[in-house]
A = this chain, B = another copy of it.
Amino acid sequence: MSENRPQQIVLASRPQGEVSVDNFRLEPLSLPQMADGQVLVRAEYLSLDPYMRGRMDDRKSYAPPVAIGAAMEGESVGEIIDSRHPDWPVGTVVTARTGWRSHAAVVADGLRRLDPAAAPVTTALGVLGMPGFTAYAGLKEIGKPTHGETLVVAAASGPVGSLVGQLARRAGARSIGIAGGAEKCRALIEQFGFDVALDHQAPNLAEALAAACPDGIDVYFENVGGAVLDAVLPLLNRFARVPVCGLIAQYSGASTDGPDRMPGLMRDILTKSLTVRGFINYDLAQLYPVFLQEVGDGVRDGSIRYREDIVDGLEAAPAAFIGLLKGRNFGKLLVRL
Contacts and interface: CB of A to CB of B under 8 A. Distances in A.
6 contacts: A61-B271, A244-B269, A245-B270, A260-B261, A275-B277, A276-B276
A274 B270 contact: no
Interface of A: 54, 60-62, 222, 225, 229, 238-239, 244-247, 250, 254-280, 283
A239 B269 CA distance: 18
B62 A263 contact: no
A255 B258 CA distance: 10
Contact of A257 (B259, B266, B279): B259
A276 B269 contact: yes
Contacts of A274: 277-278
Contacts of A244: 266, 269-270
Given A270-B245, A277-B276, A261 B262 contact: yes
B263 A260 contact: no
Instruction: Name the 7 nearest CB pairs between A and B, nearest first.
Output: A258-B258, A254-B263, A256-B259, A261-B262, A269-B278, A270-B278, A275-B277
A273 B279 contact: yes
A256 B266 contact: no
A246 B270 contact: yes
Contacts of A225: 263, 266
Nearest to A263: B254
B277 A283 contact: no
A278 B273 contact: yes
Contacts of A60: 271
B256 A257 contact: no
A268 B267 CA distance: 18
B266 A247 contact: yes
A36 B74 CA distance: 72
A269 B220 CA distance: 15
Given A259-B256, A259-B258, A229 B266 contact: yes
Nearest to A230: B262
